[in-house]
Amino acid sequence: SMKKEINKFLYFYRFLATVEMMGELKWWQKTVVYQIYPKSFCDSNGDGIGDIPGIISKLDYLQNLGVGAIWLCPIYPSPLVDNGYDISDYCSVAKEYGTMEDMERLISEADKRNIKIVMDLVFNHTSDKHKWFEESRSSKDNPKRDWYIWRDGKEDGSAPTNWRSIFGGSAWTLDEKTNQYYLHTFASAQPDLNWENKEVRQALFDAANFWLDKGVRGFRLDAIVYIKKPSEFKDLPVDGADNLASIAKATTYQDGILDFLHEFREKVFDRADIFTVAEADGVYPSDFDKWIGENGAFDMSFDFSHIRLGFDEDCTWHKRKSWKLIDIRKCFTEDEEATKDNGWVPVYFENHDLPRCTNYFFPQGTDTKLAAKFIATILLTMRGTPFIYEGQELGMTNIKWPSIKMYNDISSIGQYELALKDKLTPKEAMKGVWKYSRDNARSPMTWNSGSKAGFTTGRPWLPLNDEYPNLNVETETEDENSVLNYYKNLIKLRKQYPALIEGDYEELLSYSPGIYAYARTTKDKSERIIVIANTTAKIRGYKIPELKGATLLASTYGNREATLLRSYEVRVYKVKK
């Protein structure tokens, strides 16, 4: 149709414009991405639930912050068992969030501000209320039966394998109608699609193309490492008090997954000038040559190495071993080495599945404002595309509610129950929830110090963070030393100094305990920037002779000079030529 032709032309035109302006790097390598969790960002109609008109009303804020793309968590119709990651229709908009017209307006209003919209594709599973699943479960000979993964139970009638779903409990649910089990990597309300079926793949590619044609400029691929199942379904060695074993051990990054993904790339990703980023827990830098870049399936891949420090493969909250902030050095250096010539790193410290970085990466009692600035400095001086999660730019902190009943996050409940099975007391189990609950990041965004923090005029769907009177956009805009203004300045620096975007990465002072330092140097060596971070609470000295006469571009302590590095201080220097 006419509209499609116009769209095609626009893609091509944008593509040419981009190539011309950017030289070697692509637009998405030079931008800063901001992640929005729609339910918690901004409510426009007082029902306590964030929505698309609410997002549109904050586009000026985002433009002013300096971001160039928004990763929008799912806005599709959903029973909201897993807050939108259980989708019942891939090509519409949830009524809680608005209408298709609102989405179209969001895309065009964002475009006016030079902000691109990136959608979250949840293609490992659907909701059990999706019409595909309703058909599939209706009888063994329904044409969509094979769209999901159905198996008979064991001889004694128990589940086909001993796999534990990621949210806890068996990964199999018996459907009484046909007396077979279906597989679900996550909650039982999230049945896994059968990617072996060609029609399934085509239906998914069509859905992605639907959004491409609406003008979205990127995709984040949810739980994409699990789409290929092993050829044989076998019990695994038990790894928990529930007598089950993590399904991830059987289904992560299986042989053959790349065939599916190359088909995806060819039929969707390659159609337009977009970027793709895979959520890839369990795919490591050593796998990147086949996974991302020139010959890979995606442009970027979220590496979980720095998030999983101290965790075993099953990620049980109460079994985490101790780790130190300096350990992130190895993670980042490995990512950078692996993507030196091929592929690109998405740099991140927060998302909707993680606690706030101000708490997560630092010992209890650390000044959270210092912690927030520490993370901001690494995030925005690293080689790669920075991803900021809503509220991270304010230095938002974890919430702490007294009872598990107050938590909405389905994984918090699963982990709590697992801890009780492991003989922890309810009080001990709550400690894990406070530390790791995904609700830490889902408590609403705080816009001002008025009642309801400017998030809503009604009753917020999740309680507000107690700290909001001092920790909100309005208050922080006024305060020149705020975390928010620190973020703004660093984003500006990134645009001002090419070394911060295109420069290579070189780890310095590798053997110095507690200090993480690196240099970013442009190809022609004309600009060299050095970042030095004290990853401990103790005052520390360091020696980098080439810093003689260097200019201090930023420091987490403002312009209060000192020779030694203070507690969690990070400095950014431009070396004298």
Q: Which does 204 bind (CB under 5 to 8 A by kind): Ca ion, ligand TEU, none?
A: none
- What does the chain come to in residues? 577
Residue nearest Ca ion by beta-carbon distance: 51
To the nearest whole angstrom, how small is the minimum distance from the Cβ of residue 86 to Ca ion? 20
Is 223 near ligand TEU (CB under 6 A)? Answer: yes
Helical ranges in 88-130 per DSSP H: 100-112
State in angstroms the smallest separation of the CB of 252 from ligand TEU. Answer: 8
CB of 43 vs Ca ion, minimal distance in Å: 4
Per CB under 6 A, 350 contacts ligand TEU: no
Contact between 69 and 217 under an 8 Å Cβ cutoff? The reply is yes
Torsion, Cα of 115, 304, 348, 566 (10° steps): 180
Nearer residue to ligand TEU within complex by CB, 127 or 162: 127
- Regarding 315 and contact with ligand TEU (CB under 6 A), the answer is yes
Contact (Cβ atoms closer than 8 angstroms) between residue 62 and residue 70: yes
- Report residue 238 as tokens: 């038990």
Q: Which does 82 bind (CB under 5 to 8 A by kind): Ca ion, ligand TEU, none?
A: ligand TEU
Residue 196 touches which member of Ca ion, ligand TEU, none, C-beta under 5-8 Å by kind: none
8 Å CB contact between 573 and 551: yes
Tell me the two tokens of residue 566. 């203070």
Does 517 engage in binding with ligand TEU (CB under 6 A)? no
- Residue 208 binds to ligand TEU (criterion: CB under 6 A): no
Among ligand TEU, Ca ion, none, residue 122 binds (CB under 5-8 Å by kind)? ligand TEU
Partner that binds at residue 45, options Ca ion, ligand TEU, none, CB closer than 5 to 8 Å by kind: Ca ion
Told to check if 303 binds ligand TEU by CB under 6 A, we report: no
Least separation in angstroms between CB 70 and Ca ion:
18
The helix/strand/coil state of 521 is strand
Tell me the site size for ligand TEU, rule CB under 6 A: 13
Residue choice 51, 82, 336, 350 for contact with ligand TEU (CB under 6 A): 82
Binding mask 364-403 for ligand TEU (x = CB under 6 A): ----------------------------------------
Cα dihedral 298/90/273/297 (nearest 10): 10
| CB-nearest residue to ligand TEU | 85
What count of other Cβ atoms lies within 10 Å of the Cβ of residue 62?
22
222 near ligand TEU (CB under 6 A): yes
State the nearest-atom distance from the C-beta of 559 to ligand TEU, in Å: 39
Give the number of other Cβ atoms within 10 Å of residue 206's Cβ: 13
Taking a C-beta distance cutoff of 8 angstroms, is the pair 438, 259 a contact?
no
367 contacts 408 by C-beta, under 8 angstroms = no
Residues of this chain that interact with Ca ion (CB under 5 A) are: 43, 45, 47, 49, 51
Distance CA 217, CA 284 (A): 26
In the complex, what is the shortest distance from the CB of residue 54 to Ca ion, in angstroms, rounded to a whole number?
6
Q: Which is nearer to ligand TEU, 223 or 370 (CB)?
A: 223
Do 555 and 532 meet the contact criterion of CB atoms below 8 Å apart? no
**Whose CA is closest to 163, among 193, 186, 136?**
186
* Cα gap 187→176, rounded to integer Å: 18
Task: Say if CB 226 and CB 218 are below 8 A apart.
Answer: no
- What would the x/- binding string for ligand TEU be over residues 106 to 125, using CB under 6 A? ----------------x---
User: Mapping DSSP to helix (H, G, I), strand (E, B) and coil, where does residue 264 land?
Assistant: helix
Nearer to ligand TEU among residue 153 and residue 169 (C-beta): 169
Q: Strand 218-221 to strand 116-121: parallel, antiparallel, or no bridges (unpaired)?
A: parallel
In angstroms, what is the minimal distance from the CB of 478 to ligand TEU?
Answer: 34
The CB-of-48 to ligand TEU minimum distance in angstroms stands at 21
Partner touching 507 among Ca ion, ligand TEU, none, CB below 5 to 8 Å by kind? none
Q: What is the nearest approach in angstroms of Ca ion to the Cβ of residue 103?
A: 15
User: Is residue 313 involved in binding ligand TEU (CB under 6 A)?
Assistant: no
Q: Of the two residues 32 and 193, which places its CB atom closer to ligand TEU in the complex?
A: 193
Q: Are strands 346-347 and 69-72 parallel, antiparallel or unpaired?
A: unpaired
353 binds ligand TEU (CB under 6 A): yes
Q: How far is the CB of 408 from Ca ion (least distance, A)?
A: 16
DSSP 38-55: GGGT--SSSSSS--HHHH
Of 43 and 82, nearer to ligand TEU (C-beta) is 82
Positive or negative: CA dihedral 85, 111, 394, 475 = negative
Residues recognised as catalytic: 222, 279
- Partner from ligand TEU, Ca ion, none contacting 47, C-beta within 5 to 8 A by type: Ca ion
**Considering CB distances under 5 to 8 angstroms, the limit depending on partner class, which of Ca ion, ligand TEU, none binds residue 393?**
none
Contact pick of 183, 224, 248, 292 for ligand TEU (by CB under 6 A): 248
Does residue 186 touch ligand TEU according to CB under 6 A?
yes
Report the amino acid identity of residue 280: A
Biggest CA pair distance of the chain: 76
DSSP string, 289-313: HHHBSTTSSBSEEE--TTTSTT--T
User: What's the Cα-to-Cα distance from 222 to each of 85, 124, 130, 328, 376, rounded to whole Å?
Assistant: 9, 7, 17, 24, 25
Which residues 6+ apart lie within 8 Å of 44 measured at CB? 51, 53, 54, 57
**43 interface partner picked from ligand TEU, Ca ion, none, CB below 5 to 8 A per type:** Ca ion
Q: How far is it, in rounded angstroms, from Cα 433 to Cα 409?
A: 10
Residue selected from 37, 41, 85, 123 as contacting ligand TEU according to rule CB under 6 A = 85
Tell me: does residue 166 bind ligand TEU (CB under 6 A): yes
Please choose which of Ca ion, ligand TEU, none residue 51 contacts, taking the beta carbon within 5 to 8 angstroms, the exact cut-off set by kind.
Ca ion
Binding site for ligand TEU (CB under 6 A): 82, 85, 122, 166, 186, 222-223, 248, 279, 281, 315, 352-353
